[in-house]
Structure formats: C-alpha cells, structure tokens
Amino acid sequence: MKTLSRRQFLQTTATTLLAAPAARAIEPLGRTGSARLQLSLAAYSFRDFFGADVQRPTSKTVPPAGLEMDMFKFINFCAENGCVGAELTGYYFPRELTTDYLVQVRRHAFVKGVAISGSAIGNNFSHPKGEKRDKEIAQTKQWIDRAAVLGTSHIRVFAGQTKELSREEADKLVVSALEECCDYAGQKGVFLGIENHDAIGSAEHLLRLIKQVNSRWLGVNLDSGNFHTENPYDDFAQIAPYAVNVQFKTEIKRKGAKESEPADLARKVKILREAHYQGFVALEFEAKDNPYTAVPPVLKQMKELFGA
C-alpha cells in the first residue's frame, strides 16, 4: 500500500473539502420519544385591547373601560386559564421600553408560574441592501437582546415582502439576514423561528428558503393558519419536523376558497404527535369575537387534545 506524504495528505484533504457541497444545518430537528405539547397563548390574541401607547399599535380605538390589557394582565390571564406559557408579542410592549420593564415582566411570569414561551416581531428582511434592511437587522438583534433578558429562547421572525425585487432575489437577502441574525442569536441561546407568512404560503417555498440557511439556531414558527394551498394540512405535516414553535389558529383558508373554514385542531395535534414535536403550541386567536370570552373555551379544547 502506497503511503502518502504529509504534504500529499493535506493537499488531498483540502481538495476533497473544496469539492464537497457546503454543509447546511437546517434539517429536521430529529426529535425522538413521546411528543410533549405545552399550552401557550399569544398576546396577539388581545391585539385590540393593548391601546395605542405600545411599540406597534394594532387598533386605533381605546379599549373599553376595565378591559385594557398590558403584559402583566396578559400573564395573569394565561395563568388563570391553565397555560404553561405566554407568548409575548413584541408589538404590545410599551413604546418607551426599558430593561427594567422586561425584568419586571420576567419576574411576574415566574411568580405566576408561567413560562415566557417566546416573543414575536414584525421584521422585513426582503428590503434591498441599504438603510431599510440594515435597520431591520439591527432591530432584530435588539429583540434578541430583549428575549435574553426575558429568559425566553424563541423569537418569531418574518421573511417580509418587497415590490422592488423578484422573490428569488429577495429570498437570497432573507437567507443572508437570517444567517447574520442567527449567529447573533446563538450567542444568546435564542432560536429564531421563521414563520410561514407574507410571501411564504406553502411548505415548498419555506423548505426551499430555510435549506439555504447555515445555522443551528434557525427553525420554523409553524403557523397553522398561514398555508394557502389546496391542502394546508399536508403543508403543516411537511414542516412539523422543523418547528421550534407552533401557533394554532381556529380557521384555515384553502387556495381558491372564498371563505375560511374551521380548523381541525385534533388533526393538527395528531400531526404534531407523529412528528414527535416537543415544545410550545400557542393559540393565536384571530377571529373577531371578544377574546376575553372566546379564548378560554379554545384553550380548554387544546388542553384536552394535548392530554394535559
């Protein structure tokens, strides 16, 4: 057997590495064992009750007297309705947000026995290179710092939309922004979960995007109501192995349908169990009904389905 010299070995090894395809980290999380579905609730469910003096107001109207919501009251609501976690949507923190406020929210959640299951921001990584895109990346990093203070390990992010670039060009910018932000997030122990939202309405598109991202700290924020294909349940099943957080909605809307239809939550739960999903499932209530009365029965149904 011919023995390679040290120089020949190094040259051969280098050539092999250069010829090999670049390793990509975004693969199914490979969970094993029994599924563990933990009940959470998204603050977005109360979007019309947080008032106008917040980071990103949803409603211009003043909440009815006695029904005003803030993060402390929201955590109380989660505790009173048997939620393991509370998803603190970034939009509804005070406009003038301080580190002390974040610390007080973290303390309050601990005292109430509620985990902060994650946060959610409304970024847009699809802008062309320049000031707008740089600002979106900077704000995402700021929320990563805030998540670390809150003691949560997940932030929902978007790919965003643009009219200035083709979707293919925009997706390349989304990939590079995700890699930069995930590198920063990983230093804080925080996952970014990209949601099937905006331009991403199918599992095919989402998988094509995330498989280009080289990071251990990216997963999917799997929204059960945002696939707009002929059979959204198939898309949900394809993405479940990549999920780092799940949001349940009470309705789905199929491609070509004029109206939404009630979501089959039991079917969604079965899919998550088959994928061995272990993590939070947050109700994100988007119906027009008053969440104070409409949300508790849905949470009760989810809790029963989870076997909690």
* Residue 13: band (very low, low, confident or very high) from pLDDT cuts 50, 70, 90: very low
Question: 16 lies in a domain?
Answer: no
Question: 28 lies in a domain?
Answer: no
Give pLDDT, residue 61.
76
DSSP state of 54: B
Residue 295 has pLDDT above 80, yes or no: yes
Residue 11 has pLDDT above 90, yes or no: no
Question: 2 lies in a domain?
Answer: no
Cβ contact 120:152 at 8 Å: no
Mean pLDDT for 117-145 is 98
Mean pLDDT for 274-302 is 97
More confident residue, 63 or 120: 120
Query: Picking from 1-15, 179-193, 196-210, 259-273, which range would have the lowest pLDDT averaged per residue?
Result: 1-15
Percent of the chain beyond pLDDT 70? 92
Question: 25 lies in a domain?
Answer: no
Cβ contact 119:155 at 8 Å: yes
Spell out the alpha helix ranges (H) of 49-166: 71-80, 99-111, 131-150
Mean pLDDT for 153-166 is 97
Question: 27 lies in a domain?
Answer: no
Q: Which residue has the tokens 């406009």?
A: 95
- pTM tops 0.85: yes
Residue 9 has pLDDT above 70, yes or no: no
Report the chain's terminal Cα–Cα distance, integer Å.
63
Residue 117 has pLDDT above 70, yes or no: yes
* Residue 27: band (very low, low, confident or very high) from pLDDT cuts 50, 70, 90: confident
Residue 291 has pLDDT above 80, yes or no: yes
Give pLDDT, residue 140.
98
Residue 165 has pLDDT above 70, yes or no: yes
What is the average pLDDT score of the chain?
Answer: 92
Reported as a single tens digit per residue, the pLDDT across 171-199 is: 999 999 999 999 999 999 999 999 999 99
Query: Picking from 17-31, 125-139, 247-261, which range would have the lowest pLDDT averaged per residue?
Result: 17-31
Give pLDDT, residue 280.
98
Question: 26 lies in a domain?
Answer: no
* Residue 19: band (very low, low, confident or very high) from pLDDT cuts 50, 70, 90: very low
Q: What's the number of domains the chain is made of?
A: 1
Q: Which residue has the tokens 């809307």?
A: 253
CA–CA gap between residue 193 and residue 78 (Å, rounded): 22
Query: Picking from 23-37, 89-103, 214-228, which range would have the lowest pLDDT averaged per residue?
Result: 23-37
Question: 19 lies in a domain?
Answer: no
What SS3 state is found at 221? Answer: strand
Residue 240 has pLDDT above 90, yes or no: yes
Cβ contact 222:239 at 8 Å: yes
Give pLDDT, residue 62.
84
Q: What domain range is 238 assigned to?
A: 36-306
More confident residue, 270 or 20: 270
Question: 6 lies in a domain?
Answer: no
* Domain CATH for 257: 3.20.20.150
